[in-house]
């Protein structure tokens, strides 16, 4: 967060309902939240981001802590939304490819950027689908939200030792997948 040293006063103002402070918090963390939701493959990342921040601001009065804790708290709320959507997706039959809808909704300053972002997001999601959900949660939280092991453990409700084990196994799995992808491309060429 670029306003880390001023975070206490910003948080205090936000808890008092100041619009400028709420806007500052939103602009600081919304990119990480929407990226996390998008790479997790949620149906409508922007709409879900709105819901996440409404939940954040609804419970802002009960929050106490510094900037790292606040970041971990916001991503924990976002992660719970992901879990909810996973459960909903598991209960219903898919009628259209999720990637197509996501690709069309990807924001960007131009169509070309949208396409590149869409391709990049699709490639990342495709690779991340090769590892387990727990490993993916840890890796994305650490990379996208820039959380530490402890913050990730707090966001996921796990112990730091479990998070370390998950991130190691996840990275090793990704390394294998990447190696296989290279070998497949070499064979096809």
Residues 142 to 171 in contact with other proteins, rule: CB under 8 A: 142-144, 164, 167-168, 171
Let me know: does 141 contact 79? Beta carbons within 8 Å.
yes
Torsion of CA 155, 90, 127, 156, to 10 degrees: 10
**Which residue number, 19 or 93, has a Cβ lying nearer to other proteins?**
19
Q: Which stretch binds other proteins (CB under 8 A): 47-55, 69-77, 82-90, 94-102?
A: 47-55
C-alpha–C-alpha distance, residues 183 and 177, integer Å? 10
Residue 108 near other proteins by CB under 8 A: yes
Contact predicate 135/173, CB 8 Å: yes
- Closer residue to other proteins in complex, CB, 95/164: 164
**CB-based contacts of 91: which residues, under 8 Å, 6+ apart?**
none
CB of 72 or CB of 167, closer to other proteins? 167
* 23 lines the binding site for other proteins (CB under 8 A): yes
Closest approach, Cβ 117 to other proteins, in A, equals 8
Closest CA to 40 of 118, 119, 141: 141
Q: State the alpha helices, DSSP H only, in the chain.
A: 7-15, 19-39, 45-58, 67-91, 98-105, 111-128, 133-143, 149-156, 160-188
Q: Which stretch binds other proteins (CB under 8 A): 2-10, 11-19, 81-89, 90-98?
A: 11-19
- Interior angle at CA 141, CA 69 and CA 9, nearest 5: 25
176 contacts other proteins (rule: CB under 8 A): yes
* 119 counts as binding other proteins under rule CB under 8 A: no
Q: What tokens does 39 get?
A: 């790479």
d(CA 39, CA 128): 8
Q: Which is nearer to other proteins, 7 or 140 (CB)?
A: 140
Q: Provide, rounded to whole angstroms, the least separation between the CB of residue 83 and other proteins.
A: 18
Binding site for other proteins (CB under 8 A): 16-19, 22-23, 26-27, 30-32, 34-35, 38-39, 45-47, 49-50, 53-54, 57-62, 107-109, 117, 120-121, 123-124, 127, 139-140, 142-144, 164, 167-168, 171-172, 174-176, 178-179, 182
């Amino acid at each position: 967060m670029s306003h880390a040293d001023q975070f206490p006063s910003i948080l205090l103002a936000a808890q008092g309902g100041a619009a400028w402070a709420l806007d500052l918090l939103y602009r600081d963390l919304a990119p990480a939240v929407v990226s996390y939701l998008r790479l997790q493959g949620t149906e409508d990342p922007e709409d879900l981001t709105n819901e996440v921040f409404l939940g954040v601001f609804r419970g802002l009065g009960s929050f106490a802590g510094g900037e790292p804790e606040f970041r971990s708290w916001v991503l924990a709320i976002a992660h719970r939304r992901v879990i909810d959507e996973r459960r909903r997706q598991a209960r219903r039959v898919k009628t259209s490819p999720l990637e197509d809808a996501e690709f069309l909704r990807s924001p960007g300053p131009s169509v070309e950027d949208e396409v590149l972002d869409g391709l990049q997001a699709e490639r990342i999601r495709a690779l991340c689908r090769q590892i387990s959900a727990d490993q993916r949660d840890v890796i994305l939280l650490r990379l996208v939200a820039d959380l530490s092991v402890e913050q990730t453990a707090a966001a996921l409700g796990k112990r730091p030792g479990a998070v370390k084990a998950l991130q190691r196994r996840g990275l090793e799995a990704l390394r294998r997948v990447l190696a296989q992808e290279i070998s497949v491309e070499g064979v096809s060429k």
